[in-house]
Chain A
Amino acid sequence: MPQNDRNKTKADEAQVKNLTLSEKNAREKQALLEKKEKSKNILERARRIHAARKAHEARKAKEERDARMERRAAERKKAEEARKLKNMKNSAPGNSKTESKAMPEPQYVDFAITARKYKTQLTKKYMQRKFWVNPSPYEIQSYIPGTIISIDVKEGKIVEEGTRLLILEAMKMQNRVDMPFTARIKKINVKAGERVPKDFIMIELEPVES
């Protein structure tokens, strides 16, 4: 009986060992897969953002072009009106006083709210508003204006997640900027001692193909 028992326990132990081994393998595999998935996701996101930015720039360029055209058309119209007014002045000098006093006609633009476009004027603040840009994970930006104290990485090197990239001093506080995920350093846009504004792209990264 005891002999039997011992055999059984041995077999059990082996089984457990095998099991843990295979489990460990599976877990490792899983982790690898997850890592791959994560980097794939980041890559995709970066691509998507790049495309969106390009589209945004194109749209902005088009808006500017349109605005320029409109302005030119308005100027032409104004010049024509001025010419007309001059002609009228020449023909009827008594009338000119009331004409020149009239307020300039405001410039209305199309303004879309949900499914409808309204004719209206834009305010200065509205025209100066900042467009939202989806931040790319492959660009390390300064989240506060400040001074670069030191840079701890070099271009072209693969850097592990969590490693210190640089120290950005702002408001008398030394802020440590870490690597958000494992990637290769593509370009470093700052030098130690340099002052950077807010949202400045300090370091550019590129994905590591595994």
Chain B
Amino acid sequence: MSSKKNIIALRQKKAIVEKGGGDKAIEKQIAMGKMPARVRILALLDEGSFHEYDMFVEHEEKNFGMETKELPGDGVITGTGTIGGAPVCIYAQDFTVMGGSLGLKHARKITKIMDHALKMKIPCIGINDSGGARIQEGIGALAGYGEIFYRNTMASGVIPQLSVILGPCAGGAVYSPALTDFVFVVENISKMFITGPNVIETVLGEKISQEDLGGARVHAEITGNAHFYAASEMECFKQIKTLISLIPHNNQKRAQSIAPKDPKFRKKIENIIPADPKQPYDVREVILALVDESKFFEVQELWASNIVIGFGRMDGETIGFVANQPMYLAGVLDCDASDKAARFIRFCDAFNIPIITLEDMPGYLPGVDQEHAGVIRHGAKMLYAYSEATVPKVTVILRKAYGGGYIAMNSRHLGADFVYAWPSAEIAVMGPEGAANIIFRKEIMEAEDEDAMRQQKVKEYVEKFANPFVAASKGYIDAVIEPGETREMLLHSLSVSRDKDDSRPTKKHGIPPF
């Protein structure tokens, strides 16, 4: 009898916590176009898989009237569950409880589940929807943030960490997502900034809306903070499910493989690329023609579009793709493109995902803005990331490979395992026009008809050097292959390098050009 009473009491207690900030606050949350925190978790995880912990944690603040305030779950829901059968740790900040503000106990709930994820070696997903630090708790809130950042850093490269921004994420709170591997944003809902529009206006007199300052679009397109951009929360959850299916649980495992399937893309691979090196095309079509089922999951699609990164499967195994995109900015490397590719390469390397590089690029982007933005420092990140990576690395040179860009795009010299070139490849120190202008300067200047002479010299240079055979004769290219053979060659290279064991000198850690 008494045990039944206890059970009823427990159920009542749970029901109170599960209501979060109460019906009114939940209504308000829905009116803002946002889902309540608990609904989000249930929508994201496999049905019936969510198990919650620390429901009855309470804050300990005694100042500013906080002693009488009860905050259900202290504004955050934590637990474990599965996504497509893969185990994950998850936390979701509850905006209906005091604006999802972060106090010490709120943070301790998060750090506890993070510690758990790191110990169990499973991915950790954080759903951020918080007004920021709980000002009443003062330094306690700051301590909480710091403890989260420390764990983000410790877990980096050991377990995948995902941040989902489904509401405001301002001030110190933004640094946890920035430290994690992938950030998801949703149109009209996600807002991220260090100082909000109000502070900016009072201090500096500059007027700007939240959306223009740090909306989803801004982070997906301008800053590169976000990796996935969705129109709705449900679309965002779909993206998370796809990503989780493609990456391993931790750095000692391989990603789950599935039954291999042939590509569905029916356009002939040699017809995708125009012969004229000045004409654009969509390099994603080449990827679609190579991967299983022609399914390619692109990362950071909107930011630095001149380089394409993302995951696809070959022979059922997850592969990371890095490809120059001639459709945007002629596929040049610039600060953003280097940052984007370098971070992705390091993710793939940390989580045992082989990297395939498709190269067609005219070089680094010239310009004062690029030089002053530090294209040297940023460009170096790519060299570092490729050189450092010990996973299988395969490169296919589709068309242009000039100068520093040729070296940067996973060349043999940076430790590529296999480098292939199509017969249309041009591997040279620079474009034929530029090279001819320098090498034959005297002849061109002395000629009666300068333009005719220049044309002739460019033609000579193209015939002699703008091909893959000079590099192949030196052994920098392993094979010149027909475009139609590419998939077969890649499948073979990946299968022979499955057990690749490459070591690096013992060190505490390298010093990449951050």
Contacts and interface: CB of A to CB of B under 8 A. Distances in A.
B205 A195 contact: yes
Nearest to B306: A123
A118 B328 contact: no
A101 interface: no
A114 B433 contact: yes
- Most chain A CB inside 10 Å of its own CB: which residue of B328, B336, B366, B433: B328
Nearest to A198: B204
Contacts of B431: 113-116
B279 A114 contact: no
Contacts of B434: 114-116
A111 to B, nearest CB: 5
Contact of A120 (B280, B366, B433): B280
B366 A132 contact: no
Contacts of B369: 129-132
Interface string A98-120: 00000000101001011111111
Contacts of A145: 203-206
A171 B195 CA distance: 13
B280 A113 contact: no
A114 B329 CA distance: 13
B301 to A, nearest CB: 12
Interface string B357-394: 00000110110110010000000000000000000000
A120 B329 contact: yes
Contact of B363 (A111, A113, A123, A171): A113
Interface string B298-311: 00000111100000
Contacts of A129: 369
A119 to B, nearest CB: 5
B292 to A, nearest CB: 25
Interface string A142-169: 0001100000000000000000000000
B203 A171 contact: yes
- Most chain B CB inside 10 Å of its own CB: which residue of A117, A126, A132: A126
A114 B368 contact: no
A197 interface: yes
Given A116-B434, A118-B278, A106 B327 contact: yes
Contact of A117 (B203, B278, B303, B326): B278
A57 to B, nearest CB: 16
B222 interface: yes
A175 to B, nearest CB: 14
A122 interface: yes
B433 A119 contact: no
A119 B303 CA distance: 20
Contact of A125 (B221, B278, B433): B221
A115 B331 CA distance: 16
A121 interface: yes
B327 A114 contact: no
Contacts of B328: 120-123
Contacts of A146: 204
B198 to A, nearest CB: 15
A124 interface: yes
B254 to A, nearest CB: 35
B430 A114 contact: yes
B428 to A, nearest CB: 12
A113 B330 contact: yes
A124 B222 CA distance: 8
B205 A114 contact: no
B216 to A, nearest CB: 15
B437 interface: yes
A195 B379 CA distance: 38
Nearest to B204: A145
B490 to A, nearest CB: 27
A195 to B, nearest CB: 4
Nearest to A131: B369
B327 A197 contact: no
A31 B203 CA distance: 45
B332 interface: yes
Contacts of B279: 119
- Most chain B CB inside 10 Å of its own CB: which residue of A113, A131, A171: A113
A161 B362 CA distance: 49
Contacts of A130: 369
A17 to B, nearest CB: 56
B204 A118 contact: no
Contacts of A113: 330, 332, 362-363, 365-366, 431
Nearest to B326: A120
Contacts of A118: 277-278, 280, 326, 330, 362
Contacts of A197: 204-206
B306 to A, nearest CB: 7
A147 to B, nearest CB: 8
Contact of A132 (B280, B306, B365, B372): B372
- Most chain A CB inside 10 Å of its own CB: which residue of B204, B277, B303: B204
B373 to A, nearest CB: 9
Contacts of A132: 368-369, 372
A132 B131 CA distance: 38
Contacts of B305: 123
A134 B24 CA distance: 57
A122 B336 CA distance: 14
A122 B326 CA distance: 11
A144 to B, nearest CB: 9
Contacts of B280: 108, 118-121
B433 A116 contact: yes
A192 to B, nearest CB: 15
Nearest to A134: B368
27 contacts: A106-B327, A108-B280, A111-B330, A113-B362, A113-B366, A113-B431, A114-B362, A114-B366, A114-B430, A115-B431, A116-B278, A116-B431, A116-B434, A118-B280, A118-B330, A119-B278, A119-B279, A119-B280, A120-B326, A120-B328, A120-B331, A121-B328, A122-B328, A124-B221, A171-B203, A197-B204, A197-B206
Interface of B: 203-206, 221-222, 277-280, 303-306, 326-332, 336, 362-363, 365-366, 368-369, 372, 430-431, 433-434, 437
Given A117-B278, A123-B328, A123-B329, 10 more contacts: A111-B329, A114-B363, A115-B431, A115-B433, A118-B362, A121-B280, A125-B303, A125-B304, A132-B368, A145-B203
By Cβ-Cβ distance, the 4 closest A-B pairs, closest first, are A115-B433, A118-B330, A132-B368, A195-B205
